[in-house]
Structure 1
Amino acid sequence: MNPPVRVFAALPAAESDCRNRPQDLEVTCLNKPVREIQVTGVAEVSCPADRAWLVVSVTSTKESINEVTNSISRRLEYIFQTIRQHGVSEEHRTVRRTLCRDAEAYVMEAEILVTFSEFKKMEQTCCVLLEKLDKSVQVGTPRFFHSAACLSELRVRATVSAVENAQQKASKIAQLLGESLGASLLVREEETKEWRNEEEATGGECNSMHFPPLLPTATATSQVSVSFSFRDKSKKKL
């Protein structure tokens, strides 16, 4: 994509030229020559989701509360051990338990919500749990999302890239005019936009041959206006 370029140039005009200028021509009379260039830079940056939620649930039915509690606790301990071995700390998991009575038995269900930052380890965790716990465990479909840090970095990258594009254009224009580009005088961010291709995205089964699935993507655009000075040719080189 070739982003648009706006160029503004100001040239000194003699006082007599100002008095005798045509009516349809606007000329600004300056006491000092203005040697600067202003360009617009545009950039678009995208990044895939960097986090995923995964819900793992286990259910047990026993004749007493003590039995069903012990049964669920053993399964939970194995699940916790498995996700620890795959690099997930305790702060990135939460547990919710529910207990109800069904006729003469007690039914307890536990749901563990785990947040993964490495999708390959999430796949490995799913496979281990399904293999070892078999039908007593259910592994949900992962839900992918962008962390706040990822989105913040995305916005910064878009703005920095827009400024870099503006600088490259200004440098090429300066060469074309036989000038040498100097320091930046003003940087102004004029417009930013951000969107995602999917607000909520779910993946396939953990044993899918195409895991991980197509991830949701966040995109940020930035448009900046940057003014640069031209170096003074009259100064002698040291």
Structure 2
Amino acid sequence: MRREENLAFITSKRPATTLGLIPKNRIYSEEQMRSALIFSDTDSRRQITVSGMGEFSLPPDRVKLIVIITSTKSNANEAKTSVERRLKYVEQTLRNYGVKDADKSIARSVTRRDTMFEAMTEITAIFVDIQRYQNCHNILVEKLDAPVVRVLDPVFSHSTLRLENIKRQASVQAVRNAKHTAEDIARTVGLHVAKAVQITEENYQEKEGALAVSGQPTSFQNLIDAKTIVVNVTLNITFELKAKERQRKKDNAQ
């Protein structure tokens, strides 16, 4: 039986003329494949370099709720009192949904326009549970009057720990895929894959989705998809190759 393989990336520390490597894309027999990598001396280091790719996607695991409360009155204190009354309700609602003080921030400002005063307060809260965010968001929209109170669109993000973890997972998957490729090729020439002797990152990509422009209001799921990160890692890995035990005994006997 004859096979067509690509052994151009199989390398060794010995000169190519001694190895008798078969040129790229040439049709060759199984006997030729074996002779390409198996040597008479046991000290030769046989190696194979292959590429492996790993890819993982990570949807956002954090969501920011932003609420803006404004009040415009002829008296500055009255405007601030109106805002504070609604702010207390927002803060209590956030506590009811498990938001800690460390995960929220409040910014206050007062501006004057002619004879009128506008008091504004912006509340920002971070949720790590998207379902809780949705429930809290809906309550605030239902109970508070617009346009005095505005609940903005969610802002999604990723925690640093989860992002670093997904990068490691993609790299591990790339190593496994590269090893599987090396094992398939080594098996055809009667060898088996030993330890990795060199790993080089060939390519790393980190991409986010994009919002679809449809002219319609953006859905909650579309916002999540737009912030989903896809991590792609390509590694070049050199593995050491060993002769199988039966072949090693045969070579030693010769």
Give me the TM-score of the superposition, normalised by structure 2.
0.69
Matches for 1:155-194 after TM superposition, within 5 Å: 155-194=167-206
Matches for 1:1-238 after TM superposition, within 5 Å: 7-10=9-12, 32-62=43-73, 64-101=75-112, 106-135=117-146, 136-198=148-210, 211-215=220-224, 216=226, 217-231=228-242, 233=245, 234=248
CA shift at 1:103, angstroms? Answer: 6.2
CA shift at 1:226, angstroms? Answer: 1.5
CA shift at 1:157, angstroms? Answer: 2.1
**Cα contact 2:57–2:230 (8 A) shared by 1:** yes
CA shift at 1:63, angstroms? Answer: 5.4
Letter in 1 for 2:205: K
1: CA distance between counterparts of 2:76 and 2:223? 43
Q: Detail structure 1 runs of 4+ shifted over 6 Å in the superposition.
A: none
1:99 alignment partner, SS class: strand
1: CA distance between counterparts of 2:12 and 2:65? 60
2: CA distance between counterparts of 1:113 and 1:131? 18
2: CA distance between counterparts of 1:95 and 1:81? 14
CA shift at 1:104, angstroms? Answer: 5.7
Q: Deviations over 1:112-147 (max 9, x none)?
A: 122233222111111111222233421111222334
What root-mean-square deviation, in Å, do the aligned CA atoms of Structure 1 and Structure 2 show?
Answer: 3.6
What is the number of residues matched between the two proteins?
217
CA shift at 1:98, angstroms? Answer: 1.9
2: CA distance between counterparts of 1:49 and 1:197? 11
Letter in 1 for 2:170: A
1:43 alignment partner, SS class: strand
User: 5+ residue gaps in structure 2?
Assistant: 1-5, 24-35, 250-254
1:11/1:5 CA distance change after superposition, 3 Å: closer
2: CA distance between counterparts of 1:11 and 1:98? 71
**Cα contact 1:43–1:221 (8 A) shared by 2:** yes
Q: Residue in 1 aligned with 2:252?
A: none
1:219 alignment partner, SS class: strand
1:30/1:110 CA distance change after superposition, 3 Å: farther
1:134 alignment partner, SS class: coil
CA shift at 1:109, angstroms? Answer: 1.6
2: CA distance between counterparts of 1:133 and 1:120? 20
1:212/1:198 CA distance change after superposition, 3 Å: closer
CA shift at 1:84, angstroms? Answer: 2.1
Give me the TM-score of the superposition, normalised by structure 1.
0.73
CA shift at 1:93, angstroms? Answer: 1.8
Identical positions, percent: 29
Q: Deviations over 1:79-101 (max 9, x none)?
A: 11211222222222221212234
Letter in 2 for 1:133: L
1: CA distance between counterparts of 2:231 and 2:40? 40
1: CA distance between counterparts of 2:110 and 2:7? 65
